[in-house]
Amino acid sequence: MLASLPPEALQFRAAVREFLTQHLDDHLKQAARLTTGVYTEIEAGKRWYKILSRKGWVAPTWPEEFGGTGWNALERHIFGIECFRAGAPLLFNMGIRHIGPILMAEGTREQRDYFLPRILSGQDIWCQGYSEPSAGSDLASLKLKAERVDDDYLLNGSKIWTTGAHFATHMFCLVRTSSEGRKQQGITFLLLPMDTPGLAVKPIISISGDHEFNEVFFENVRVPVENRVGAEGEGWRVAKALMQFARSNNVNTGWVREALAHLKRTAQVERDGSGRSLCEDESFARQLADTEIFLDTVEVMELRVLSSTRQGESPGAISSMLKTLGSQVKQRVTELAAEAVAYYGFPFQPEALNPCAAGPIIGPAHAITAIPAYLNERAATIYSGASEVQRDVLAKRVLGL
C-alpha cells in the first residue's frame, strides 16, 4: 500500500527493520505465527513488550513527555507494518492503548506518576472491567455496586468477558455509585489491583478452545477513593472518551495485511478441486483482490485516524467507521483462509497452537490457525462496541439522522 516513501521515511524504515532483525528470535516469531485471537501467547507477548520498552518503542501513540516515541503518523504506521511483516507478536496492551491515554487526560498527577511508568516498563498489565451479564451494548445499565465506606469504595457484583483478567495485574472498571437520576449519571471510573482481597477470576473458554476472557466476581472488594479517575458519577464521560481511543486502536491493518499475505501463500499451494491452485481459480482470486482493495481502504482510514490522534485530538466518529470496517476486513481474511484450507481445517488440535509444543500435527502447518482464527474473529464485530451500535453512532453523528 505504501508504494513510495520519502527518503526520511525510508531511513526510518531501515532502522526499524534492523532493530527487528536483531531482536525478533524464532520463538517470538513462532508464537506470533500461531496467534489466533486478539493477542499472542502471553509469555511471548510480555517478552516482546519488554524488548520494545527497553528500546523506548512500546508506546508510539503516547506524547513524548509521557514516554512516547515522537514519531509522526507515517512513522507509526510504518512501524506497525514492519513489526508484523517481520513476524512480531501481537501485544496485549490495554495499558498503552486504553488506560494510559485516559490517565494522561483525566488522571491526577499522582495517578499519572505512579501508573504510566509501570505501564511503559511492562510491570503492570491492565484489563478492562466494563461489561456485565446485562450490560454490554447498553453499558450504562451496569450494576456493579460501589458503596462509599470511609475512604474506600466497597464493591459487590460481577463483570464478564474481561479479556486478560487471568494474567492482568490491574483493572480499570466502571462501577455504580448511585441509582438516582439518569443511569449514566451514577457511574464512576475506578482503578484496582487484581490481587485485591474479595476478587475472583473464572475462565470462559471460547468456541476455538482459547482462554482469553473471564468472569470476574467482587465480594466486598475495597478500593481506595484515591484510585478514582474523575469525580464520583463522572465515569460515563471518562469511559466515553476512552472508547474512541479503544475503537480507533482496535484495527491493525499491519496485522491483517500479514494475514492476507499468509492467505495468498496458502492459495498458491492449495488446489481448487480441478488441479489448479486457488490463485488460478477466478472466483477465489477475485475474492482475494476484493479483500485487498477493501484493506487498502481501511488502511487509508487508519492513517487518517493516526494523524488526528497525533495532535492529541479525539478521533471522533471516524473511529466507529474504522472499527466497523476494520473488523469486517479481518473477518473476511479469516473466512477466505478457512475456505482455502478446506478439510485440513477440521481437526481440533488446540495443543498445536502452543508455541512451545513440538508434537506432530495433522495437515500442513499453514492450516493450523485457519479455523481457530476464523472462529475467534467472529468476535471482532462484537467487542469494543458491536457493529450495529457503531452504525447507530454513525447514523446520528455523521449522517445526522
Ligand X SMILES: Cc1cc2nc3c(=O)[nH]c(=O)nc-3n(C[C@H](O)[C@H](O)[C@H](O)COP(=O)(O)OP(=O)(O)OC[C@H]3O[C@@H](n4cnc5c(N)ncnc54)[C@H](O)[C@@H]3O)c2cc1C
**382 touching ligand X, by CB under 6 A:** yes
Size of the site for ligand X (CB under 6 A): 19
Of 175, 130, 131, 181, the residue nearest 154 (C-alpha) = 175
Closest separation in Å from C-beta 138 to ligand X: 6
Nearer CB in complex with ligand X: 86/251: 251
Nearer CB in complex with ligand X: 98/257: 98
Contact assessment for residue 230 and residue 175, using Cβ atoms and an 8 Å cutoff: no
Please state the φ and ψ torsions of residue 137, each to the nearest 5 degrees.
-60, -40
Nearer CB in complex with ligand X: 94/341: 94
d(CA 91, CA 145): 32
| Neighbouring C-beta atoms of residue 176, cutoff 10 Å | 23
Helices and strands (H, E) in the chain, number of each type: 13, 8
Nearer CB in complex with ligand X: 81/174: 174
Closest separation in Å from C-beta 173 to ligand X: 8
Closest separation in Å from C-beta 269 to ligand X: 31
Residue 121 CA, chain-centre distance (Å), reads 19
d(CA 78, CA 24): 17
Binds ligand X (CB under 6 A): choice among 35, 36, 40, 128: 128
Closest separation in Å from C-beta 130 to ligand X: 3
Closest separation in Å from C-beta 377 to ligand X: 10
Nearer CB in complex with ligand X: 40/162: 162
**Distances 327 to 223, 249, 323, 380 between C-alpha atoms, Å:** 35, 12, 6, 5
**386 touching ligand X, by CB under 6 A:** yes
Closest separation in Å from C-beta 287 to ligand X: 25
Binding to ligand X, residues 228-287 (CB under 6 A)? none
**130 touching ligand X, by CB under 6 A:** yes
Binding to ligand X, residues 137-156 (CB under 6 A)? 137
Q: Which residues pair with 224 in a beta bridge?
A: 152
d(CA 102, CA 240): 10
Closest separation in Å from C-beta 379 to ligand X: 4
Binding to ligand X, residues 277-296 (CB under 6 A)? none
Binds ligand X (CB under 6 A): choice among 162, 250, 309, 324: 162
**379 touching ligand X, by CB under 6 A:** yes
Residues found near ligand X in the complex (CB under 6 A): 127-131, 136-137, 161-163, 213, 379, 382-383, 385-386, 388-389, 392
